[in-house]
């Protein structure tokens, strides 16, 4: 019998695909990649060939954990404007970053952010809807203000005293090794517990990561930073409806911090609960804001903002303090000078038994060392992304089409030699004592920029400015391994380890 479709192109195509399925798929991937590279209006922008074809290039570098140094090298090779993904451009210029972060230009957050939890009720950092972000920030700006944070100084100082007690134990023997990085990390978390909920998480008291809560947060941020590069993977992984039925993807239990936050909110919601008792802490002030406008600032918003403060504020503050100490102790002349400044202030009666925020502001060389640490090793390691408005926009004198993702990295921006000098790659605190210091400070992106400037910066700076001079006044520190760099990897924040020191109590501040 004669074949009724002897020349069917469709059938021949089906047979060909079945016979060469793998090759067909690979061919389609290659064609798609080449199309994305050459058909894009960004095709004239230099960058790695693979990066212009697929986001897999960026995914791989984020997976390796040192994306910030990768982008430093990327810009050194290709210049100040680099195509870092098919529809993404990375900028190395602080002037370009100002263009991107300037309020009112119509930029929005990229899909990178919606991967971060909680998906059902985003916090200020993860909220991608501009109107909702602005609304939440309006209600949170007063609770997060410096004056509000300073009212919580007694709780912060109580945590400081506990840290000093713990560090004192390492002064008994000159050979006792203190992992200062861990203690600073635990301090940052416990302070956030006191500030947000008027309760400590117990990390300092127990001298450990209780229930692995900090490790869990780091793992979550590693997932968020990685999957945020290819957001559709989120549907297959964390948002997969089959997740509860797959053994290795089972629903995880809430962390210690989440449980305590929920319990504290539940207690304060109980009928007859006296909200005035804890109204000074962050959750109390947020509940007060909710009571004034429950339709615009819900209880779910209260939880997400207070809970988000722990996740965003603890790792970033700890990382900054760890960087400060490692850079300081790795440069003996700088260390000697900053200690001398603190000694002079102490001898002049300018420092309280517990160093106050404003007193630290009057230590110019200490402030220079702090700013230089934030410049050379910002707490955020991944790129900050924004998407251009539909009509397109101008950045750094060049036009970019609507829908283009614009990325900046603090580690790259802070090495802008046009802004920070020809020695921008070098740790030199003295630059902050020079005539152009005010101009440089405008281009520090440690806390982001524009309308999305980190709302928790006042708390972070309050903690840092109180604790670091206190430690430098009380103790003499020496690196156990002065020849080793600080170990780190970037999840979203720069997570560091290896800051081991010998500690000696300075009974005489003149010594």
| Percentage of the chain modeled with pLDDT above 90 | 57
Give the number of other CB atoms < 10 A from CB of residue 293: 12
Helical segments of 247-352, H only: 256-269, 282-292, 299-329, 332-347
pLDDT above 50 (res 511): no
**Whether the predicted pLDDT of 61 surpasses 50:** yes
- Tell me, what's the pLDDT at 490? 92
Per-residue pLDDT tens over the stretch 13-22: 676 666 766 7
Which is higher by pLDDT, 132 or 274?
Answer: 132
- pLDDT, average across residues 158-185: 95
d(CA 303, CA 124): 11
Residue positions forming the annotated binding site:
454
Which residue reads 């009928």 in tokens? 271
Q: What is the pLDDT of residue 17?
A: 67
Burial class of residue 511, CB neighbours in 10 A (0-12, 13-18, 19+): exposed
Q: Whole-structure pTM over 0.95, yes or no?
A: no
Output the six-digit token pair for 398. Answer: 């060049």
Mean model confidence pLDDT for the chain: 88
Residue 313 pLDDT grade (very low, low, confident, very high; cuts 50, 70, 90): confident
pLDDT tens across 354-365, in order? 999 999 999 999
Q: Distance between CA atoms of 388 and 49, rounded to whole angstroms?
A: 23
Q: What is the mean pLDDT of residues 365-392?
A: 96
Q: Give the count of beta carbons closer than 10 Å to the beta carbon of residue 505.
A: 13
Predicted pLDDT of residue 1: 44
Query: Which of residues 178 and 125 earns the better pLDDT score?
Result: 178
Domains of the chain: 87-505 (1.10.630.10)
- What average pLDDT does range 387-397 have in this prediction? 93
- Please tell me the predicted confidence (pLDDT) of residue 455: 84
Binding site for heme, residues? Answer: 454
Closest by CA to 420, choosing from 403, 441, 447, is 441
pLDDT tens per residue, range 237-290: 888 777 777 766 655 677 778 888 888 888 877 754 555 555 688 888 888 888
CA-based nearest residue to 365, from 407, 403, 331: 331
Least confident of 166-170, 225-229, 379-383, 452-456: 452-456
CA 194/CA 336 separation, integer angstroms: 33
308 CB-near residues (< 8 Å, 6+ apart): 123, 124, 125, 126
Interatomic CA distance for residues 395 and 354, integer angstroms: 46
**DSSP 8-state assignment for residue 249:** G
Q: Which residues contact 50 (CB under 8 A, 6 or more apart)?
A: 56, 57
């Amino acid at each position: 019998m004669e074949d009724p479709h002897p020349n069917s192109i469709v059938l021949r195509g089906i047979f060909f695909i079945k016979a060469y399925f793998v090759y067909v798929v690979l061919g389609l991937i290659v064609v798609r990649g080449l199309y994305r590279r050459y058909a894009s209006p960004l095709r004239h922008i230099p960058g790695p060939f693979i990066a212009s074809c697929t986001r897999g290039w960026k995914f791989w570098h984020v997976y390796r954990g040192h994306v910030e140094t990768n982008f430093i090298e990327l810009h050194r090779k290709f210049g100040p404007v680099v195509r870092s993904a098919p529809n993404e451009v990375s900028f190395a210029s602080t002037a370009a970053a100002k263009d991107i972060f300037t309020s009112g230009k119509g930029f929005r957050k990229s899909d990178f952010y919606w991967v971060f939890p909680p998906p059902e009720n985003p916090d200020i950092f993860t909220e991608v809807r501009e109107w909702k972000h602005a609304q939440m920030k309006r209600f949170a700006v007063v609770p997060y203000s410096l004056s509000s944070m300073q009212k919580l100084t007694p709780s912060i100082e109580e945590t400081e005293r506990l840290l000093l007690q713990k560090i004192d134990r390492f002064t008994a023997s000159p050979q006792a090794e203190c992992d200062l990085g861990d203690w600073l990390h635990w301090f940052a978390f416990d302070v956030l517990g006191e500030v947000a909920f008027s309760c400590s998480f117990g990390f300092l008291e127990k001298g450990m990561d209780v229930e692995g809560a900090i490790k869990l947060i780091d793992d979550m941020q590693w997932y968020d930073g990685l999957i945020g590069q290819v957001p559709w993977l989120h549907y297959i992984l964390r948002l997969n409806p089959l997740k509860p039925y797959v053994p290795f993807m089972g629903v995880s239990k809430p962390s210690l911090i989440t449980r305590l936050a929920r319990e504290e909110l539940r207690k304060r919601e109980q009928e007859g609960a006296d909200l005035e008792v804890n109204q000074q802490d962050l959750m109390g002030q947020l509940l007060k804001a909710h009571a004034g406008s429950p339709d615009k600032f819900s209880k779910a918003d209260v939880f997400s903002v207070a809970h988000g403060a722990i996740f965003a504020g603890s790792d970033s503050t700890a990382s900054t303090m760890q960087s400060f100490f490692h850079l300081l102790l790795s440069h003996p002349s700088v260390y000697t000078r900053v200690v001398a400044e603190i000694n002079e202030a102490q001898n002049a009666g300018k420092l309280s038994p517990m160093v106050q925020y404003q007193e630290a502001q009057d230590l110019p060389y200490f402030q220079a060392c702090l700013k230089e640490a934030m410049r050379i090793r910002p707490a955020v390691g991944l790129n900050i992304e924004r998407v251009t408005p539909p009509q397109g926009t101008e950045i750094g004198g060049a036009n970019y089409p609507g829908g283009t993702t614009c990325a900046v990295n603090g580690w790259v921006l802070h090495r802008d030699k046009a802004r920070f000098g020809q020695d921008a790659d070098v740790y030199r605190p003295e630059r902050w004592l020079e005539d152009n210091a005010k101009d440089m400070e405008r281009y520090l992106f440690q806390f982001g920029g524009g309308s999305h400037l980190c709302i928790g910066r006042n708390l972070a700076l309050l903690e840092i400015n109180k604790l670091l001079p206190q430690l430098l006044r009380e103790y003499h520190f020496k690196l156990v391994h002065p020849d080793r760099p600080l170990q780190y990897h970037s999840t979203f924040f720069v997570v560091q380890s290896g800051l081991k020191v010998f500690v000696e109590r300075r009974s005489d501040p003149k010594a």
